[in-house]
Structure 1
Amino acid sequence: MTSFGAKEIREGNFMPTFKVHGQVYHLIGNLLPAEGAQPEFLQIYFVSHADQVSLRSNLNPTLQIDLIDALQKYLHDHNTYIQSFKYNLENRPISDLKLIIHADVKPPNDHRGRYNMPIVDEVAVLLIDEDTGPRDIVLNARDGQLQRVSELHRSYDPLQYPLLFPYGNDGYCINILQRNGAARSKTVSCMQFYAFRLMVRIDDFNSLHYFKGLFNQYCVDMAAKMISEILSFIKRNQKKLRADEYIHLRDAVTNDGNIDAFNIGQYVILPSSFTGSPRYMNEKSQDAMTYVRKFGRPDLFITCTCNPEWPEIKNELLPDQKSYDRHDLVSRVFHLKLKKMIDLLTKKHIFGPTQAFVYSVEWQKRGLPHVHILLWLANKIQPDSIDDIISAEIPDKQQDPILHNIVIKNMIHGPCGFHNPASPCMKENICSKKYPRSFISETQTGDDGYPTYRRRSPNNGGNTGIVRVRGTEISVDNRWVVPYNPVLSRIFNAHINVEFCQSVKAIKYICKYIHKGSDQATFSLQNSNNEVEKYLNGRYISSSEAFWRIFQFPIHERFPAIVHLAVHLENGQRIYFNNENLQDRVNNPPSTTLTAFFDLCKKDEFAKTLLYREVPQYYTWERNKFFRRKRGQDVDGFPGVKKDTALGRVYNAHPTQTECYYLRILLQHVRGPTSFEDLRTVNGIILLSVK
């Protein structure tokens, strides 16, 4: 009954996925078509039953007319929206008709947290000039205009997906109250609502899981709604919230005691707390470099891709379903497999004790989730032990038939080239992944990239296997094998690429690569300063990612924890304010981690022995102060001091910010400073600048 407006992309033959690009719009037209025009969308419901069947069957000659007929009858008999629309059309003159579906009218004596079906009285008939609520859906009889429907209106779901909700069950709205002991004023979030609605329950039939491609579209639409709700909150609240450096704010208030907060500072736009924003991704890549500073280069770079043939997925499919019909199962199973893999790496120590790890989940063009993992080991891998961990050879079929089949099915690249010139890796008739590789009898290190792994030829003890490409069986050898670890491959039966990180030059690339973010598009903007619009216009949302976000699975994880430490000049800290708290912020500026560090060094002898970045290992940041940790290892010579695994990262300062840049350098070398003046003191002389 409404239209779904977005740039739709359907990608992948192996694992088809529904994907949208940019903003999603929901539009609704008039109740009746213009004179001489064909009815469409909502208007089809108001023509005769026979004409409805004809109009729908003309869309595609393969549609079954008897099935269309049965569905139409069912909707007209049970869908309360259709019934109320027809009732009002039959009982009001068309010339002045205006239907309004109210956003907040609910049946009396019913809990607002339930998924109610509408009743006829909820759809009101008003004259043209009467007022409507801000999120109401207004239906005109015939004015030739389309109107935007709020995705937060409770009637959007049944209007857009009448077959999914044939009784007209409510969708999400912003005023659903929580139950089960929660505070009565606390409402259900969009994420909570759809996570509940999409869940599989043994004792409750959920018809949504039977709709295949339409189910995928619905979930992408709802994920876009969920993200839009968060962004809408950010945009609405930033009309009030502003930020500026404390010294500038103080000077502005001193010069004008009656100053308006809206006339100073700047808007805070799309903060780093929003998952997937550019600031969020930049922070994660900088955090990964913190591990490099502390533990050196990572030892292993692991990439694992979901296998849609896992029995945990196939056993839960409904009759006549493929894995790409149930991206909810794909996401849930992959999340569990990922947790198991991290447990094996960090707790079972299959490669030895670990010092740190970081991972990032992404989605391929063909729709499957995959994860990039960086692993730091306590005992560094030596070049002569690489072959014990990583293999780039086909296992012997007689000695290990299970691993042989896993490698042949999951770890063979292509084959591409003349075997498959249409392969996506082919660029100008050359494989961009550099396959087939050369035969080599021993693993070699020393290049700037990854090692050259051992790949023995069939004449030198190497094995071969048979793969099928476009219906043709092809014999492959070790030149086509993607490096893998036999233990991980055997356990997970998936494409798991394991690489040894040998080069310092590759570290920055890897840390940025695993945090490059979701697919983005090249686009132009009318307002380049609006970061919320920029994010919306550039994003892609695929079926698998939609479920991952709705189920609130983590996109990034890391260990140990990293505490971000502020760096700023004296009175140069960032202050967030609005009209209500402006004076209080000026008179009582909140502490930052830097000013709290100075205060700590004034009264704590142990803190005077620390660099700024070392403080989080021994102190926790709570209520704008540093407190000694209560758990961890005891520190010799300092009773009551405990050391934990947390690391500190001082925010970057660009060299063009000269004073702040040199202040940051000083903080990396001066232990236990008590003030900005202390940092500027050299041989008892207080300098005017830190440069």
Structure 2
Amino acid sequence: MTARSAETAEQTQLCLQRNRIAAARTAETTEQTQVHREQAGIDAAAARSAETAEPTQQRLPRQDTLTTAAAWPPQPTRRRAWAENFALDYNPVTQYRAHQKFFMGRMSKKCSRCNALRWKDERPGICCNNGKVHLRPLSEDIPPVLTHLFQGANPDSEHFLGNIRKYNSCFQMTSFGDKTIDEPGFNPNFKVQGQVYHLIGSLLPIPGEQPQFLQIYFMGDQQAQAEHRRGIVEGVRLNVIRELQDDLHEQNKYVRDFKTARERLPENTDDLRIVIHADKHPVGEHERRFNAPVIDEVAIQIVGQQFERRDIVLQLRSNELQRISETHRAYDALQYPLIFWRGDDCYNFQLRQTDIRTGKPGTRKVSAMDFYASRLMVRDGSFNYIHRCRMLFLQFAVDMYAKIETERLSFIRHHQTRLRADDYIHLRDAVANANQRGNVVILPSSFTGGPRYMHERTQDAMTYVRHYGRPDLFITFTCNSKWDEISNELLPGQQSYDRHDVVARVFHLKLKQLMDYITTGAIFGAVRCHMYTIEWQKCGLPHAHILIWLCDRIRPEQVDCVISAEIPNRVEDPELFEIVTKHMVHGPCGQLNPGSPCMKDGTCTKKYPKALIKDTVTGIDGYPLYRRRSADDGGFTKQHTL
């Protein structure tokens, strides 16, 4: 039954009357409409004047609602933030870390396209670019020798993992050219300075010289090879070298092909070269005609034949070294035979993005960043042995990021016209003032770390200071390698310094949470603007320096509510007491520990120990002297045993 069939005769007549009035209104002229509205106003005023008190009281609340709804534009009102002024009213009983905005949980979100795992607050698509990057999975039929060594369940395995960079140096076929810096200590890390490059020599050494790198594989005696490799670096075991050596001679395709080419190559010939082609298709042919390899990985070609610039061309004996192109498919496998023991192809220009609509390769190339981002992800049900390589993994990650930067710089170098570099004012100044000009390459402001990028960021910072004055807060946020989110994702036997990929991702998420806590949550009050920069400590852990401008300045009596340089009350706030005494107590230094890193010329460069002071005061140099009360003035102490 419809509503119309259920209505009464009076309701039907009223509905018809309203329809007739609406139809008449549409046919009115402007003058008629104006007259009608004026008459309606007169009639309403007459009715209001004649109504009693009771109808008036029933009408006014409804009229107030209509008036409020009709007000436009609405008056701007500031809604109270979810954590407003929490810092000014700290309560040790409140469990701040239990708030849902601070809960990260485990790395449990799974990509529907590639099964990569991520945290809930991470951006979808960081693993496979939303399905556009589809790589051949790493081989999981790991040889028993490497499986045994990667597990870390016996003395040989622990020794191997602790010295894996040394063992890789014994078997690498190319040299690693750069200035490396090894930072030992509680959080060891790997650093490079300058440009990273890989070099490869001839197949055999010059008579009278010792074989190196690739040349060691052609020493006739297997035992002599193992003895020679053990002499390259100290601290390696002969039995482990023999096992790895036998496995690489059997499994690695480049070792097998090099040995086959060496057997076919006549002695004392200068007319032949051994070539590893950069691409899997013959030079000059269309790439789609050769989806599968149709030539050997390693080929013998006559001198004078056309080679591509990125091909690796080896002579039988020579003192010359050839630099390998970063985009050569064998770039990674020749340098890291313990990671790519089969000689797998890695990043190269033949890789194409997948069309997510058809599932077929498209025309756009896969970038180096997308390739290695996908390769280093943790996937559900997959054994990614790269994550188990400890210090070798750190070297590999640094090396591959250098490759990513090289690819970006190469793009900029070859697309100066597209970037309209001729219009840059800095380029015109350089051309006008330089006596000798070479091939000038201008980095755009979008290149992170470039001169124009840094110049723009500096100008932005100066604009904030010029417009809003000095910042109200300077905050340093340091990564804690003991965070649960990091510890929970480590593999058995690993420490946080073995997985800098996890450390970096967790710190990035924690920093986003902190900035949201400060800006959106307004724990110090409403924020006008902010900026921060991220740096890496010598120990390899990231930290951020944050500047905050507040709408309402912090008053002098509120400073001790926001900043505390004292040891907390162990009884009232045991959790904060544990955090401060574990992570934020300086020293000991001075006469108690003259060898402390902060000591210089017998004095602490951080000016410790600080004098005890009852109230916070402003120092002569502009830096505040924060309250550090003695036990007699109500402060707290902690006993430290040397």
The residue type equivalent to 2:318 in the other structure is: D
Q: CA contact under 8 A between 1:103 and 1:135: conserved in structure 2?
A: yes
Which residue number corresponds to residue 591 of structure 2?
Answer: 418
Indicate whether 1:146 and 2:321 are aligned: yes
Question: What SS does the corresponding residue of 1:185 show, helix, strand or coil?
Answer: strand
**Equivalent residue in structure 2 for 1:243, among 404, 422, 436:** 422
Indicate whether 1:163 and 2:342 are aligned: no
Which residue number corresponds to residue 194 of structure 2?
Answer: 22
Indicate whether 1:205 and 2:377 are aligned: no
**Equivalent residue in structure 2 for 1:4, among 170, 176, 191:** 176
Q: CA contact under 8 A between 1:357 and 1:374: conserved in structure 2?
A: yes
Question: What SS does the corresponding residue of 1:243 show, helix, strand or coil?
Answer: helix
Indicate whether 1:283 and 2:468 are aligned: no
Q: 1:415 to 1:101 in 2, by over 3 A?
A: same
- 1:406 and 1:112 mapped to 2: Cα distance? 60
**Equivalent residue in structure 1 for 2:302, among 127, 130, 141:** 127
Indicate whether 1:42 and 2:214 are aligned: yes
Identity of aligned residues (%): 53
Q: 1:136 to 1:282 in 2, by over 3 A?
A: same
**Equivalent residue in structure 2 for 1:225, among 382, 385, 403:** 403
1:285-307 deviations in Å (ceiling 9; x for gaps): 22122222333321111111111
Q: 5 Å matches for 1:447-466? A: 447-466=620-639
1:327-380 deviations in Å (ceiling 9; x for gaps): 111111111111111111112221122121111111111211111111112221
Q: CA contact under 8 A between 2:178 and 2:194: conserved in structure 1?
A: yes
Q: CA contact under 8 A between 1:80 and 1:120: conserved in structure 2?
A: no
Question: What SS does the corresponding residue of 1:345 show, helix, strand or coil?
Answer: helix
- 1:333 and 1:300 mapped to 2: Cα distance? 24
Residue 32 of structure 1 deviates from its aligned partner by: 0.7
1:88-113 deviations in Å (ceiling 9; x for gaps): 111221424311111122599xx999
Q: 1:27 to 1:392 in 2, by over 3 A?
A: same
Residue 224 of structure 1 deviates from its aligned partner by: 0.9
Question: What SS does the corresponding residue of 2:314 show, helix, strand or coil?
Answer: strand
Question: What SS does the corresponding residue of 2:595 show, helix, strand or coil?
Answer: coil
Question: What SS does the corresponding residue of 2:538 show, helix, strand or coil?
Answer: coil
TM-score (norm 1): 0.62
- 1:20 and 1:72 mapped to 2: Cα distance? 28
- 2:294 and 2:262 mapped to 1: Cα distance? 16
CA RMSD of aligned residues (A): 2.8
- 1:266 and 1:155 mapped to 2: Cα distance? 30
1:589-625 deviations in Å (ceiling 9; x for gaps): xxxxxxxxxxxxxxxxxxxxxxxxxxxxxxxxxxxxx
The residue type equivalent to 1:161 in the other structure is: Y
Q: CA contact under 8 A between 2:355 and 2:362: conserved in structure 1?
A: no
Residue 83 of structure 1 deviates from its aligned partner by: 1.0
1:11-48 deviations in Å (ceiling 9; x for gaps): 24121110111111210011111112221100111123
- 1:407 and 1:290 mapped to 2: Cα distance? 36
Which residue number corresponds to residue 173 of structure 1?
Answer: 348
1:34-87 deviations in Å (ceiling 9; x for gaps): 112221100111123222211112234532222211211211111111111111
Q: CA contact under 8 A between 2:282 and 2:295: conserved in structure 1?
A: no
Moved more, 55-64 or 305-314: 55-64
Question: What SS does the corresponding residue of 2:300 show, helix, strand or coil?
Answer: strand
Q: CA contact under 8 A between 2:479 and 2:542: conserved in structure 1?
A: yes
The residue type equivalent to 2:182 in the other structure is: R
Q: CA contact under 8 A between 1:117 and 1:170: conserved in structure 2?
A: no
- 2:563 and 2:252 mapped to 1: Cα distance? 59
- 1:58 and 1:313 mapped to 2: Cα distance? 38
Q: CA contact under 8 A between 2:205 and 2:318: conserved in structure 1?
A: no
Indicate whether 1:370 and 2:543 are aligned: yes
- 2:598 and 2:262 mapped to 1: Cα distance? 58
Q: 1:341 to 1:244 in 2, by over 3 A?
A: closer
Residue 120 of structure 1 deviates from its aligned partner by: 6.6
Aligned positions, number: 451
Gaps of 5+ in 2: 1-172, 429-435
- 1:177 and 1:290 mapped to 2: Cα distance? 43
Question: What SS does the corresponding residue of 1:319 show, helix, strand or coil?
Answer: coil
Question: What SS does the corresponding residue of 2:501 show, helix, strand or coil?
Answer: helix
Greater share of residues in helix: 2
Q: 1:450 to 1:41 in 2, by over 3 A?
A: same
- 1:4 and 1:117 mapped to 2: Cα distance? 31
1:489-513 deviations in Å (ceiling 9; x for gaps): xxxxxxxxxxxxxxxxxxxxxxxxx
- 1:157 and 1:354 mapped to 2: Cα distance? 48
- 1:221 and 1:451 mapped to 2: Cα distance? 44
The residue type equivalent to 2:351 in the other structure is: I
Q: 1:394 to 1:387 in 2, by over 3 A?
A: same
Which residue number corresponds to residue 11 of structure 2?
Answer: none
Q: CA contact under 8 A between 1:359 and 1:374: conserved in structure 2?
A: yes
- 1:335 and 1:144 mapped to 2: Cα distance? 47
TM-score (norm 2): 0.66
Q: 5 Å matches for 1:345-384? A: 345-384=518-557
Q: CA contact under 8 A between 1:12 and 1:365: conserved in structure 2?
A: no
- 1:456 and 1:152 mapped to 2: Cα distance? 62
Which residue number corresponds to residue 32 of structure 1?
Answer: 204
Which residue number corresponds to residue 539 of structure 1?
Answer: none
Residue 223 of structure 1 deviates from its aligned partner by: 0.9
Residue 189 of structure 1 deviates from its aligned partner by: 1.0
Residue 411 of structure 1 deviates from its aligned partner by: 1.1
Which residue number corresponds to residue 262 of structure 2?
Answer: 89
Q: CA contact under 8 A between 1:106 and 1:122: conserved in structure 2?
A: no
Indicate whether 1:57 and 2:236 are aligned: no
Question: What SS does the corresponding residue of 1:186 show, helix, strand or coil?
Answer: strand
Q: CA contact under 8 A between 2:413 and 2:441: conserved in structure 1?
A: no
Q: 1:245 to 1:99 in 2, by over 3 A?
A: closer
Q: CA contact under 8 A between 1:112 and 1:177: conserved in structure 2?
A: no
Q: CA contact under 8 A between 1:162 and 1:168: conserved in structure 2?
A: yes
The residue type equivalent to 2:422 in the other structure is: A
Question: What SS does the corresponding residue of 2:239 show, helix, strand or coil?
Answer: helix
Residue 118 of structure 1 deviates from its aligned partner by: 7.4
- 2:545 and 2:181 mapped to 1: Cα distance? 25
Greater share of residues in strand: 1
- 1:125 and 1:118 mapped to 2: Cα distance? 16
**Equivalent residue in structure 2 for 1:322, among 477, 492, 495:** 495
The residue type equivalent to 2:385 in the other structure is: S
Question: What SS does the corresponding residue of 1:392 show, helix, strand or coil?
Answer: coil
Q: 5 Å matches for 1:485-496? A: none
Q: 5 Å matches for 1:591-610? A: none
Question: What SS does the corresponding residue of 2:196 show, helix, strand or coil?
Answer: strand
Question: What SS does the corresponding residue of 2:260 show, helix, strand or coil?
Answer: helix
**Equivalent residue in structure 2 for 1:273, among 434, 446, 458:** 446
- 2:401 and 2:585 mapped to 1: Cα distance? 35
Residue 391 of structure 1 deviates from its aligned partner by: 0.2
Which residue number corresponds to residue 162 of structure 2?
Answer: none
